[in-house]
Amino acid sequence: MKEKLEKIKADAVREIQNSDGLEKLNEVRVAFLGKKGELTAVLKGMKDVRAEERPKVGQLVNETRESIEKLIEETKRKMEAAERDIRLKQEVIDVTLPAKKNRVGHRHPNTIALEEVERIFIGMGYEVVEGPEVEYDYYNFEALNIPANHPAKDEQDTFYVNDKIVLRTQTSPVQVRQMEKGKLPIRMIAPGRVFRADEVDATHSPSFHQIEGLVIDKNVTFADLKGTLQEFAKELFGEDTKVKFRPHHFPFTEPSAEVDVTCFKCGGKGCRFCKGEGWIEILGCGMVHPRVLEMSGIDPEEYSGFAFGVGLERIALLKYEIDDMRLLYENDDRFLKQF
Ligand code: DAH
């Protein structure tokens, strides 16, 4: 019996040492220690052993089992460690390699300019509102004191959906929509897309953006308009910026003006950027026409107000010294990623 057990042990040791991996090792374990294994077979043969020898043989079997188990356990740990080492070597990361860069997009120059304008007016207590791009002819023209046969309607030739509905040519209709709500006073800006039947060139596009401004309250005067736009220009283009109000005509304001700012490139001396003028036009404005107030249900005897309209692209082009509006819409990555 003893020799038999020693042979089993020697066989097991040899096979364990010859195992080339965890799988093979497991097979060896099953072959020697498993339910149908060699050692179990010996235990089953115990009934043939003489009773007084049984404890000794039993002890021998257990010792053999223990030493085989121990060797398998040790070998298993060594194999696992070796495998881990191999894996670590394979998965090693070279931290000196250049990383794959994730190119993150960023805001469009129009958006940057808009957020800047919004920041300035929100700082002055204005609310940002929006109106529809597909608009009633009434809001886009009629309620702004531009009746059916008014020549101003020609200047803003647009896309008609039908007799009564147009793609808005300006953000000014949002003024009317806000006034009709009847909540006074009003201090709002309304940014948004507008449309005109224009050919594309360096300064024109059939679709562009404006930012409308409207203030209605008691005792609002032209001085308030001047102060507000002066402040806006300084915030946007720099502390030294001066503004000039040139008389102009808009049907929905009276009096009306166009506003120029001193060229922020040359400070007003005249340069290539301002085409030698020293001044750059940035917006239209005026005191809201009494008839416009009346049509929107506001009493012009009690309330007055001012309005202004800024071209967003114009601001973006000026701020970033871009000389062709088309660049803003072509989505050329080489252009856009500069901002
Ligand atoms: N809506 C005008 C345009 O598109 C711009 C404008 C001028 C808006 C004067 C105003 C304003 O609110 O008071 O040409």
Using only C-alpha atoms, what is the Rg of the chain?
43
- Ligand 1 centroid distance, CA of 170 (Å): 7
190 lines ligand 1 (CB under 6 A): no
Task: Confirm if 173 and 156 have CB atoms less than 8 A apart.
Answer: no
What pLDDT does residue 217 have? 98
- Three-state secondary structure call for residue 9: helix
305 lines ligand 1 (CB under 6 A): no
**Token code pair at residue 207:** 């679709």
- Ligand 1 centroid distance, CA of 236 (Å): 19
Q: How many other C-beta atoms are found inside a 10 Å radius of the C-beta of residue 120?
A: 17
285 lines ligand 1 (CB under 6 A): yes
CA distances from 2 to 57, 141, 321, 330 (A): 8, 113, 99, 92
Counting ligand 1 atoms within 8 A of each CB, the residue from 198, 203, 222, 252 with the most, and so the one to mutate, is: 252
| Residue at token pair 């121990």 | 70
Pairing of strands 243-250, 253-262: antiparallel
What pLDDT does residue 58 have? 82
Report DSSP letters for 55-73, one per residue: HHHHHHHHHHHHHHHHHHH
250 lines ligand 1 (CB under 6 A): yes
pLDDT tens for 45-94 read: 878 888 888 888 888 888 888 888 998 999 999 999 988 999 999 988 88
- Ligand 1 centroid distance, CA of 122 (Å): 20
**Token code pair at residue 40:** 């179990």
- Ligand 1 centroid distance, CA of 221 (Å): 18
**Token code pair at residue 89:** 């070597």
241 lines ligand 1 (CB under 6 A): no
Task: Confirm if 76 and 42 have CB atoms less than 8 A apart.
Answer: no
- % of the chain with per-residue pLDDT over 70: 100
What pLDDT does residue 208 have? 96
Low-confidence stretches of the chain (pLDDT beneath 50): none
DSSP state of 101: P
pLDDT tens for 275-322 read: 899 999 999 999 999 999 999 999 999 999 999 999 999 999 988 889
131 lines ligand 1 (CB under 6 A): no
For residues 298 and 314, what is the distance between their CA atoms, to the nearest angstrom? 32
* Residues with Cβ within 8 Å of residue 310, at least 6 apart in sequence: 117, 210, 211, 213, 282, 283
Ligand 1, atom 8, lies closest to the CA of 309
**Closest ligand 1 atom to 210 CA:** 4
Cis peptide preceding 255, ω within 30 of 0: yes
- Three-state secondary structure call for residue 174: helix
Strand order in the sheet with 127-128: 127-128, 186-195, 207-217, 304-311, 279-288, 253-262, 243-250
Q: What is the dihedral of CA 145, 124, 318, 278, to 10 degrees?
A: 90
Counting ligand 1 atoms within 8 A of each CB, the residue from 176, 188, 308, 315 with the most, and so the one to mutate, is: 308
- Ligand 1 centroid distance, CA of 288 (Å): 11
